[in-house]
């Protein structure tokens, strides 16, 4: 009833190709955008920004990055944490070396540097596949963390090996450093996420996205029909790392403000982002958002319900969180390999027919 | 049923959002899960039990009841930030994160929010300079003091000279473990010993190569900056290569019962620093009778009297004394975080006060000032007696070499001040 296509006519190719072909979806999208840009910034406080919104937005960017590589191009990567570290340390070095340049440019450049590093580590993907590639990216993860711990130049020779984000401004408003308002933190992440999601969506439905998907589905067949695997795989690594680098830079500069590489960008970060795209849905932009929201919200929700409402011990709730995430991953891998995005797709199918299913 | 849950959630929401009630809110950012839980649990138990004792025995501090808000961080900085944001709205008076990584996160945030942080024997060492770090306190001692105390102890053992000796530092490869390196480098130049550094990556279960290197190089002494599961593995590995335990000295986070018991008799003779003496204090009996027997123990009650439990209790005592001091200075019992900061800066711990509290000689005597947030920096050396299963204090509190640590503190804190545009000064 609510969700229908009847009367929604497309009269041009352009209209037929749009991201949200159903009117109800378009309205929903614009309402979401209005709430995200015009309502939340006025209501947000420190807790909501730091516990929920900022991590969600940043992880969504990382999930988009990994989803391009794994979900669209079929190259399994366990190096997400390491690539986020590249973004964070590149951003830190740029911020401290060129304090007069805008932080926005630094974050984009950090993404560019990560793209170059990612493409370099993507070279072995031309020869090795599947599990073997996963192991190669795992090596990248450990190498990068080791590098940022070992070489003091990366952390400006500070005694503790920590990097701290100095205060930086966008249009006169502090976006990094301790005096940042929660709305400013939220807005810069939101703007980056919106732009990244738009770019990702349009890349994945164009020529380059189709060549990635061809490689994913069957690389030999793709090669025979004229897809260049070198170009497809390396662009997937570069674009994916670009997004992951941006998320790493935001994670360090805007969200945490001080970072220690082994702790913040360890192997568990790679797995966390991988779980996000598995639960959210491989090969779907919406899935990145759903997965990131799910894994950011779940521990917070469990904590609020378990500790604050039910009064359970904190360690019990924390262990329960691990159990639930593990069980959910198994559930999704068995029951719904395409994740939350597929559930949403099925729900839409059902809603279109409701209340008269055949 | 559903309505009831909704009502409970709404109630929790209003409680969380409501104004600060007339009570003293102390957040406890604990970690009872993850690879560092073995250390986090007894510390948190001791921290909470002491406040529970104050509530049960004295009706709180200065007539105000203490409310503990526990938040599990898992030693993870992201969760630490979430916990900080979740608890600060409730009127948190003082933070004790028990993690150097989380401390680095919280220093700028808490400074901006004007809430004091007490990082007892961990955290950012240069926070001892209170003119730069107005809201951060690390009394009674810090890592650089620890490094200096360890070297002073070894000097004493070797008749005043370490010339030509080699000392290996086995450290947790993180901000925590890297902290003492700079001091040890200065000390190695000063006293002529050779320092070799061996990093152990988080969480520290894999140390075969580091101990192989120690076996090959045969250093005279091994110092360790470890925490969590890393300590147990290191003690076991040292036993495996037959390294003499009496030449193996851990810092004060590498010297608890659970660090040495897994190695059994092989750990006998292992030494560690400590900033609080562990003996059978009268206050522990009070906690047993008024908190544990009343069923209010923070954990399962099994940690009472262990090294880290006593340290947690000591931390709680220092916080309670600072709050009492703040009440005295400002003449109100419902203090604010800013008042607690004043109390911390005016804190004076005397031997008489410690015996009055039923913990005679638990720590060194010290006083805090605006210039010095670091206390006296003294630490003692204790040794593990595996047969009886007790830590035996070997020395009294040893004075660190302030002529080494003070310039380093000044240098590092001034670098931070210029980086963050802080003009040093008292509040």
Identify whether B1 is part of a domain: no
Identify whether B342 is part of a domain: yes
Query: B179 to chain A: nearest residue by CA?
Result: A160
Question: Are B285 and B255 within one domain?
Answer: no
Q: How far is A307 from chain B (nearest CA, A)?
A: 9
Question: Are B386 and B264 within one domain?
Answer: yes
Long-range contacts of B6-12 (CB under 8 A, 24+ apart): B8/A309, B9/A304, B9/A305, B9/A309, B12/A304, B12/A308, B12/A309
- Rounded-to-integer distance, Cα B335 and Cα B61, Å: 11
| CB contact set of B42 (below 8 Å; sequence gap of 6+) | B256, B299, B303, B306, B307, B308, B309, B312
Q: How far is B205 from chain A (nearest CA, A)?
A: 15
- Cβ-based neighbour number of residue B155 at 10 Å: 16
According to the model, what pLDDT value does residue A356 have? 74
Question: Are B303 and B415 within one domain?
Answer: yes
Identify whether B361 is part of a domain: yes
According to the model, what pLDDT value does residue B101 have? 87
Percent share of chain B, pLDDT over 90: 71
Q: Could you read off the pLDDT of B380-399 as tens digits, one per residue? A: 999 999 999 999 999 999 99
Q: What ipTM, to 2 d.p.?
A: 0.87
- Rounded-to-integer distance, Cα B379 and Cα B93, Å: 27
According to the model, what pLDDT value does residue B18 have? 42
B1 pLDDT more than 70: no
- Rounded-to-integer distance, Cα A86 and Cα A133, Å: 20
Question: Are B350 and B397 within one domain?
Answer: no
Binned at pLDDT 50, 70 and 90, residue A146 comes out as very high
Interface of B with A in 46-65 (CB under 8 A): none
Contacts of B9 in chain A (CB under 8 A): 304-305, 309
Highest mean pLDDT among A235-249, B252-266, B283-297: A235-249
Asked if B148 has any chain A CB less than 8 Å from its own CB, the reply is no
Identify whether B3 is part of a domain: no
Average pLDDT over residues A158-184: 89
Question: Are B354 and B415 within one domain?
Answer: yes
Asked if B296 has any chain A CB less than 8 Å from its own CB, the reply is no
Residue pairs between chains A and B whose CB atoms are closer than 8 Å: 111
Contacts of B77 in chain A (CB under 8 A): 256, 258-260, 263-264
A164 vs B104: CB contact, 8 Å cut-off?
A: yes
Q: How far is B81 from chain A (nearest CA, A)?
A: 7
Identify whether B7 is part of a domain: no
Q: Could you read off the pLDDT of B102-158 as tens digits, one per residue? A: 998 899 899 999 999 999 989 888 899 999 999 999 989 999 999 999 999 999 999
Identify whether B15 is part of a domain: no
Binned at pLDDT 50, 70 and 90, residue A162 comes out as confident
Tokens 């920590």 identify what position? Answer: A162
Identify whether B9 is part of a domain: no
**Which pair of tokens denotes residue B108?**
């700028």
Residue B294: domain span: 23-142+280-377+407-419
Query: B82 to chain A: nearest residue by CA?
Result: A51
Q: How far is B328 from chain A (nearest CA, A)?
A: 31
According to the model, what pLDDT value does residue A358 have? 65
B104 vs A160: CB contact, 8 Å cut-off?
A: yes
Query: A257 to chain B: nearest residue by CA?
Result: B105
Average pLDDT over residues B401-407: 90
Q: How far is A241 from chain B (nearest CA, A)?
A: 22
Contacts of B182 in chain A (CB under 8 A): 159
Interface of B with A in 74-93 (CB under 8 A): 74, 76-79, 81-82, 85-86, 88-89
For B81, which of A50, A162, A263 is closest by C-beta distance? Answer: A50
Average pLDDT over residues A38-52: 92
pTM: 0.91
Question: Are B150 and B133 within one domain?
Answer: no
Question: Are B73 and B150 within one domain?
Answer: no
Q: For chain B, what is the domain count?
A: 2
Query: A305 to chain B: nearest residue by CA?
Result: B9
Q: How far is B255 from chain A (nearest CA, A)?
A: 22
Query: B408 to chain A: nearest residue by CA?
Result: A159
Binned at pLDDT 50, 70 and 90, residue B22 comes out as low
Instruction: Provide the terminal-to-terminal Cα distance of chain B, rounded to the nearest Å.
Output: 53
For B12, which of A55, A162, A308 is closest by C-beta distance? Answer: A308
According to the model, what pLDDT value does residue B28 have? 94
According to the model, what pLDDT value does residue B3 have? 45
Average pLDDT over residues A91-107: 94
Give the DSSP letter string of B185-220: HHHHHHHT-EEEEEEE-TT----HHHHHHHHHH--S
Q: Could you read off the pLDDT of B333-376 as tens digits, one per residue? A: 999 999 999 999 999 999 999 999 999 989 999 999 999 999 88
Q: How far is B88 from chain A (nearest CA, A)?
A: 9
- Rounded-to-integer distance, Cα A63 and Cα A200, Å: 11
Question: Are B103 and B220 within one domain?
Answer: no
Q: How far is B218 from chain A (nearest CA, A)?
A: 24
Phi–psi pair at B175, nearest 5 degrees? -55, -40
According to the model, what pLDDT value does residue B93 have? 95
Give the DSSP letter string of B228-273: THHHHHHHHHHHHTT--GGGEEE-TTS-SHHHHGGGGGGGTT-EEE
Segment among A315-324, B45-54, B315-324 with least mean pLDDT: A315-324
Contacts of A177 in chain B (CB under 8 A): 108
According to the model, what pLDDT value does residue B8 have? 47
Q: How far is B143 from chain A (nearest CA, A)?
A: 11
For A314, which of B71, B100, B173 is closest by C-beta distance? Answer: B71
According to the model, what pLDDT value does residue A1 have? 57
According to the model, what pLDDT value does residue A3 have? 73
Contacts of B89 in chain A (CB under 8 A): 46-47
Q: Are the C-beta atoms of A272 and A156 separated by less than 8 Å?
A: no
CATH of the domain at B202: 3.40.50.2300
Residues of A contacting chain B (CB within 8 angstroms) = 46-47, 50-51, 55, 149, 159-162, 164, 166-167, 177-179, 255-260, 262-264, 266, 299-300, 303-305, 307-309, 313-315, 317-319
B89 pLDDT more than 90: no
Identify whether B10 is part of a domain: no
A192 pLDDT more than 70: yes
Mean pLDDT of all residues in chain B? 90
B326 pLDDT more than 70: yes
Average pLDDT over residues A132-156: 92
E-strand ranges in chain A read 163-164, 169-170, 173-174, 258-259
Classify residue B377 as left (phi > 0), alpha (psi -120 to 50) or beta. Answer: left
Contacts of B178 in chain A (CB under 8 A): 159-161
A260 vs B71: CB contact, 8 Å cut-off?
A: no
A319 vs B33: CB contact, 8 Å cut-off?
A: yes
Contacts of A259 in chain B (CB under 8 A): 77
Highest mean pLDDT among A47-51, A85-89, B70-74: A85-89
Question: Are B175 and B33 within one domain?
Answer: no
B11 pLDDT more than 50: no
Average pLDDT over residues B262-289: 92
- Cis bond leading into A249, ω under 30°? no
Q: Are the C-beta atoms of A29 and A20 separated by less than 8 Å?
A: yes
**Paired residues of B329 in beta bridges:** none
Question: Are B226 and B355 within one domain?
Answer: no
Question: Are B184 and B80 within one domain?
Answer: no
B101 vs A263: CB contact, 8 Å cut-off?
A: yes
Asked if B45 has any chain A CB less than 8 Å from its own CB, the reply is no
Question: Are B224 and B366 within one domain?
Answer: no
């Amino acid at each position: 009833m609510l969700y229908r296509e009847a009367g929604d006519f497309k009269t041009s190719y352009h209209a037929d190709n749009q991201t949200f072909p159903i009117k109800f979806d378009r309205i929903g999208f614009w309402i979401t955008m209005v709430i995200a840009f015009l309502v939340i910034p006025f209501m947000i406080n420190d807790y909501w920004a730091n516990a929920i919104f900022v991590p969600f937005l940043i992880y969504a960017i990382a999930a988009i990055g990994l989803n391009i590589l794994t979900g669209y191009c079929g190259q399994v990567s366990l190096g997400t944490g390491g690539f986020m570290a590249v973004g964070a340390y590149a951003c830190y070095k740029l911020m401290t070396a060129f304090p007069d340049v805008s932080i926005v440019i630094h974050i984009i450049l950090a993404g560019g540097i990560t793209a170059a590093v990612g493409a370099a580590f993507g070279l072995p993907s031309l020869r090795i596949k599947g599990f073997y590639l996963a192991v190669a990216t795992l090596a990248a993860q450990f190498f990068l963390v080791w590098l940022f711990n070992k070489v003091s130049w990366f952390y400006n020779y500070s005694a503790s090996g920590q990097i701290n984000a100095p205060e930086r401004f966008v249009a006169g408003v502090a976006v990094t450093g301790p005096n940042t308002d929660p709305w400013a933190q939220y807005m810069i992440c939101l703007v980056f996420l919106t732009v990244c999601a738009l770019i990702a969506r349009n890349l994945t439905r164009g020529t380059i996205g189709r060549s990635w998907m061809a490689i994913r589905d069957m690389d030999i067949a793709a090669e025979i029909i004229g897809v260049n695997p070198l170009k497809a795989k390396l662009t997937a690594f570069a674009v994916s790392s670009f997004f992951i680098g941006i998320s790493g830079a935001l994670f360090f500069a805007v969200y945490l403000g001080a970072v220690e590489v082994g702790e913040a960008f360890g192997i568990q970060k790679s797995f966390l982002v991988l779980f996000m795209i598995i639960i959210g849905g491989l090969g779907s932009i919406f899935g990145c958002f759903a997965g990131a929201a799910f894994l950011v919200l779940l521990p917070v929700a469990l904590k609020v319900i378990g500790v604050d409402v039910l009064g359970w011990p904190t360690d019990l709730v924390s262990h329960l969180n691990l159990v639930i995430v593990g069980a959910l991953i198994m559930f999704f891998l068995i029951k719904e390999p395409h994740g939350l995005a597929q559930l949403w797709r099925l729900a839409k199918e059902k809603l279109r027919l409701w209340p008269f299913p055949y | 049923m559903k309505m009831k849950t909704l009502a409970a959630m709404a109630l929790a929401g209003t409680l969380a959002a409501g104004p600060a009630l007339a009570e003293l809110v102390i957040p406890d950012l604990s970690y009872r899960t993850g690879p560092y839980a073995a250390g986090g649990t007894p510390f948190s138990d001791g921290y909470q039990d002491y406040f529970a004792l104050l509530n049960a025995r004295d009706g709180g501090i200065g007539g105000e009841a203490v409310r503990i808000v526990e938040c599990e961080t898992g030693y993870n900085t992201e969760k630490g930030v979430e916990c900080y944001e979740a608890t600060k709205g409730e009127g948190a008076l003082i933070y004790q994160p028990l993690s150097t990584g989380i401390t680095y996160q919280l220093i700028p945030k808490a400074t901006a929010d004007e809430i004091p942080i007490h990082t007892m024997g961990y955290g950012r060492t240069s926070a001892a300079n209170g003119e730069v770090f107005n809201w951060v306190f690390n009394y009674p001692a810090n890592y650089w003091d620890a490094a200096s105390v360890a070297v002073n102890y070894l000097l004493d053992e070797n008749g005043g000279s370490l010339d030509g000796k080699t000392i290996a530092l086995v450290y947790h490869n993180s901000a925590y473990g890297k902290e003492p390196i700079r001091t040890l480098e200065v000390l190695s130049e000063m006293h002529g010993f050779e320092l070799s550094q061996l990093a152990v990556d988080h969480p520290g279960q894999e140390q075969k190569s580091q101990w192989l290197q120690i076996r090959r190089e045969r250093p005279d002494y091994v110092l360790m900056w470890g925490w969590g599961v890393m300590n147990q593995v290191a003690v076991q590995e040292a036993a495996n290569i037959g390294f003499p335990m009496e030449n193996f000295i851990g810092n004060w986070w590498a010297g608890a019962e659970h660090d040495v018991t897994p190695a059994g008799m092989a750990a006998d003779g292992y030494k560690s620093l400590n900033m609080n003496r562990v003996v059978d204090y009268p206050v522990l009996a009070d906690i047993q009778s008024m908190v544990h027997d009343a069923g209010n123990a923070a954990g399962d009650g099994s940690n009472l009297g262990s090294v880290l439990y006593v340290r947690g209790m000591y931390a709680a005592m220092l916080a309670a004394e600072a709050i009492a001091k703040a009440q005295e200075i400002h003449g109100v019992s419902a203090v604010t975080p800013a008042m607690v900061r004043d109390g911390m800066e005016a804190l004076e711990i005397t031997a008489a006060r410690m015996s009055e509290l039923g913990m005679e000689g638990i720590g060194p005597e010290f006083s805090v000032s605006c210039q010095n947030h670091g206390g006296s920096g003294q630490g003692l050396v204790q040794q593990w007696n595996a047969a009886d299963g007790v830590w035996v204090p070997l020395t009294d509190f040893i004075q660190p070499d302030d002529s080494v640590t003070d310039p380093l503190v000044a240098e590092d804190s001034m670098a931070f001040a210029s980086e963050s545009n802080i003009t040093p000064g008292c509040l």
